[in-house]
Structure 1
């Protein structure tokens, strides 16, 4: 129910008795701005500046009531002089809907203030790697490379900025989403793909600035935070069930050719490692740059590097091992798929009509224009023919965040508005190709770039290119923050490269980091390794026998959890409850609302991974319940505990009253 209150010159708007909006002359709800942006993109890193030309706070207001389609509509018209702007408020499907009027000339920015309290916590905005509780900072919502290090105070980030403009910051992300959840038990979602900035730094308000007026803004108030999160995906879409084979072992990332990969597989299987699949990212060929080993972006089997792979895929599948590949939404210049797309006029262009070639780091590739139906149809056929037809059981659907803002797209669509939408287009292409082949129950793809469309179109996210280190902003700890942020945005399925990926500026993956990362991954919906961009610099899953045995041990635990994980994935698909979830979704206490170093895997497992090098214990705060250590079987009550955590015995606890207690108790 929508209600209004006018007191002491302030207008307050309530929904279901919760104050949502507040307006006064000194703190107007609506401010119009005229701005002029400059956008500079370098290899997926964006540098955006906005010059404010004019700012107009709208102090006066008029409230009117009407009816439309049998519903009551309240209209708030704000004005200053001859300039006005309207908000229509209505209730639909148990949510508050705001509809904005067009911006009056010459204004092209809309700033909307929501009521806030000083103690309020805020989560979401897609995938955020540095901060889980977003209060106190602003978040530009723009898909791009996450950046190296992602903290301007660290030497790694400063080096990446100095050498390659690639350092990133606390807010840079592959997956922004204009959706947030408040600890006051509501969510806000803005229906826009334009550049936005959500500022949570003011104690008394949240200011949302849009460069494209949202088609609508939806606000949902619920009795609990769990119900709030469920309602996000009820509105925006939910991920599907995963293929059954995903839970049957680890997906080993390897490369280098048929013989090399088969030898690695044999080595792991001889050590009793349960292998669900081989992920061969270089199945289409190799390309080397100063960054390290890259891939040849022509999505066709490289027969020279992988002779006989077509036969091996069939044989391995009969033995229970799938083979996965790699693809992204670009095509490498002067290669067969590029030539075919060029001939069919399916590529993004420059103003002069030439093909827009993007610098991806010492090589150029063209953009398949997904705003053109013929290009979508063509790329689906490429996936059907070259990947599905070849026998792959899945792939990494990489990139999606690079769309330049000056590319000319079909039908004159503005690339500045299409940029944040692009990962959704890319997800839809992959999903549709699989569905049209009737393979949804068999094939898995996973992406790093995302947008709101990803909830309905991408079955699995992965956290992108973490450093091979322990850093809070871009190492192992950031994976937890990213997953929890996605969970609060409605996306319930995420995983990461075991051991991280980015190997630069002296960083090298250690044996300890790889094993600790595998411990965390065992308590996630999917286990998958990656060699990193400089494999020879990194400790790998088969670097010594002790590491192989550690991988085997944690994979065994993961496989034993299959019935529980399948239950959680079904909960996510059917009820919108994320697989990995913040503790406060079930124990709604202020003390848990900023916790990002432990999480619940479903309702019944609490996981507190070791996130520091050399640590042999973890301090864990357990909710008020009866808990049993998964490995030692020692029982604990709620409260703060220092738990010993030697390698291969991460602090994981199951709820004694769980219906899966017998399964958990059987894990030794």
Structure 2
């Protein structure tokens, strides 16, 4: 939200009361309290009829400073996010100077004018709040608190959720407000009031409601964030690298859970409005097997339930008369099952009356049940602040799990009204975004309870801060076009820089039917994402129905088979990347700046990414196969061909539909499984370490391989006299190779290639 009219003036109708002076400082051992006067106090009379802003600094964790700005402290506090507070800082006042220290991060302030608050790490100034930065704004009867932090020359800002515009947020106005807007609008399904700066820090605005960001778009020299009400709380999170910021941010707000190995395989959906029954499902499952396309999960979309009855958790008996038997038969084919749900209960659903009578649905202010006809006729919304409603909802999920369901697609959660009353009395404005957190948590927790920790997986569309704890998330409703494919990738990279480790999208695009070439290009991209799902709206996304070219290596089924098998072999590598997301918050799909923060050429790259730490992927966004991508310094090697490519430059290539730039970085080690039919196998049995070694003798790398059972094996890889040597306590059953080279089997725990 913009409050000013250019640099000099305030917008009509806006009253701006800025912190003009650091009037006073107080401290305890762990807190620094600042009185910010909104006028310069020259004498006692200046203290009359003048609002103040009370600014409290403390630390919830090492290298994190929390800033709480309060106008009227007795006002209703906003819904804040759950934080895991692990440490306290130290505060002190020395004369006119106050400092709050937390690890290597510190906040400093000095009595007097102008207002000043500086954040530094290891002596380096990261950003500051200065003259006309902190303000109390009044507009049309509402009060807002806003803050501005300085931007340095060349500083770039990332994150703020899954946003489909440019990866770099400079110049953008962003409202944190979950909406069902598709991938081609400024709206977002997953809004996260957190950003990462190339300047070596991050900022979380700890408010679950509407937060308005102006990223160099009102004052081009500053980031600005504002919230309605009387209180603003934000946290400055130290780096120095973007990875460090994500590590500290996810330690505070929750790490992504580990998901089962089978979830990294291919997911195939019935699609949305298509007509299907068990015979259709079997035809698709058997068709994938007959064509050698790996399949791990079959997804039943909305119409597994009867129309006008969503969500009643009941199989439509007209098309699925024996759901338990069907699920058992699918399990015999080694296929897991996911079913679609949402948090809305249609009036026609058999469980609506029970939910209504027991008070499990959101209420209007007059005490009646809130209903509307958006999406499903007469639907009510489950009130997840009511523990009894949560238990009731989870009970229906337990029944489906007992029938043989393995995962849930938690769709929607964005269409949440604000003119309602919650069971716990929560502010409905604050709950609009936070609703999805309660929804996905309820579903994920029952999956962990029934299936066990590490076996739970959802396919979620909506989220906010903390939602990364409940993976996987997918990119929502894209369209069948190259432009939408590219915007989808931007959304994935943006959500990765917002703390979310695991992400997917609809291969081929959701709306419309993709042409044959687009489908194949999107298949390669989709299979080289964290999670891979064929899904669409009004047409099946089964490869052989896209084209019937089974005779060549360029047909849709052949492309799906090639990249599906490759992904199955990459399972040990992906599980290791998923473990890193769980341990540190580093996403599996990584914007280039996460791995190459010192290379200024990568700052704006949003058409390529790293899959895990060592594989560069450049999807092809053109029908003719032309693709431009950037390689940092060093000798990169194609995983598909074994050819070397020198970095430190832009590269232009042309690829057929069964290929794309997929390169192992210098010093990269890619563990490949022996099985190419599924990801949940014994990874150490027949494992191959594919190595593109560092340029110099003496290069060494340690790699941990996580088996699906949870066993960990460590391999040490090094270069000696031009040869690559690998050693492990695993005595045999694994081997070593260079990309495109011959595999050498280990003997007595050691393998060597020239």
Q: Distance in 2 between matches of 1:519 and 1:452?
A: 30
Q: Distance in 2 between matches of 1:463 and 1:280?
A: 18
The reply to whether residue 263 of structure 1 matches residue 277 of structure 2 is no
Shift of 1:74: 4.4
Correspondence for 1:653 among 663, 667, 683: 663
Shift of 1:94: 1.9
Correspondence for 1:384 among 388, 398, 404: 398
Instruction: Flag the 1:563–1:485 CA change in 2: closer, same or farther, 3 A.
Output: same
When Rg is computed on C-alpha atoms for both structures, the one with the higher figure is 2
Shift of 1:487: 1.3
CA displacement 1:543-595 (0-9 Å, x = unmatched):
32322222111101110100100000001101221111111112122211111
Instruction: Flag the 1:540–1:296 CA change in 2: closer, same or farther, 3 A.
Output: farther
Contact 2:448 / 2:456 at 8 angstroms: preserved in 1? no
Q: How does 1:297-308 map to 2 (within 5 A)?
A: 297-308=311-322
State the partner residue of 2:538.
534
Deviating more after overlay: 602-611 vs 240-249: 240-249
Shift of 1:132: 0.6
Shift of 1:118: 4.4
Shift of 1:72: 4.7
Correspondence for 1:64 among 13, 24, 48: 24
Shift of 1:608: 0.4
State the partner residue of 2:154.
119
Correspondence for 1:239 among 256, 261, 277: 256
Correspondence for 1:603 among 592, 609, 613: 613
Contact 1:510 / 1:539 at 8 angstroms: preserved in 2? no
Deviating more after overlay: 543-552 vs 337-346: 543-552
Shift of 1:56: 2.1
Normalising by structure 2, we get a TM-score of: 0.73
Contact 2:296 / 2:335 at 8 angstroms: preserved in 1? yes
Shift of 1:57: 2.5
Q: 1:556 aligns to what SS in structure 2?
A: helix
CA displacement 1:225-253 (0-9 Å, x = unmatched):
22122221112111111112123444444
Instruction: Flag the 1:94–1:333 CA change in 2: closer, same or farther, 3 A.
Output: same
Q: Distance in 2 between matches of 1:222 and 1:27?
A: 31
Q: 1:174 aligns to what SS in structure 2?
A: coil
Alignment size in residue pairs: 584
Deviating more after overlay: 620-629 vs 141-150: 141-150
State the partner residue of 1:520.
525
Q: Distance in 1 between matches of 2:318 and 2:567?
A: 36
Contact 2:246 / 2:584 at 8 angstroms: preserved in 1? no
The reply to whether residue 310 of structure 1 matches residue 324 of structure 2 is yes
Shift of 1:341: 0.7
Correspondence for 1:98 among 30, 46, 67: 67
Contact 2:66 / 2:234 at 8 angstroms: preserved in 1? yes
State the partner residue of 1:88.
56
State the partner residue of 1:39.
none
Correspondence for 2:568 among 555, 559, 562: 559
Shift of 1:107: 5.4
State the partner residue of 1:48.
none
Structure 2, unaligned runs of 5 or more: 1-5, 40-48, 76-140, 672-687, 691-737, 742-754
Shift of 1:323: 1.3
Correspondence for 2:333 among 319, 322, 327: 319
Deviating more after overlay: 110-119 vs 97-106: 97-106
The reply to whether residue 142 of structure 1 matches residue 177 of structure 2 is yes
Instruction: Flag the 1:136–1:415 CA change in 2: closer, same or farther, 3 A.
Output: same
Structure 1, unaligned runs of 5 or more: 1-25, 34-50, 151-169, 289-294
CA displacement 1:204-244 (0-9 Å, x = unmatched):
11111111455631101222222122221112111111112
Q: Distance in 2 between matches of 1:108 and 1:305?
A: 55
Instruction: Flag the 1:264–1:100 CA change in 2: closer, same or farther, 3 A.
Output: same
Q: Which runs of 4+ in 1 moved over 6 A?
A: none
Q: Distance in 2 between matches of 1:436 and 1:247?
A: 21
State the partner residue of 1:197.
212
Normalising by structure 1, we get a TM-score of: 0.83
Instruction: Flag the 1:59–1:268 CA change in 2: closer, same or farther, 3 A.
Output: closer
Contact 2:148 / 2:222 at 8 angstroms: preserved in 1? yes
State the partner residue of 2:193.
178
Q: Distance in 2 between matches of 1:654 and 1:581?
A: 14
Instruction: Flag the 1:667–1:102 CA change in 2: closer, same or farther, 3 A.
Output: farther
Q: CA RMSD in A?
A: 2.5
Q: How does 1:550-589 map to 2 (within 5 A)?
A: 550-588=559-597, 589=599
Correspondence for 2:346 among 326, 332, 353: 332
Q: Distance in 2 between matches of 1:126 and 1:300?
A: 34
Instruction: Flag the 1:318–1:78 CA change in 2: closer, same or farther, 3 A.
Output: farther
State the partner residue of 1:426.
439
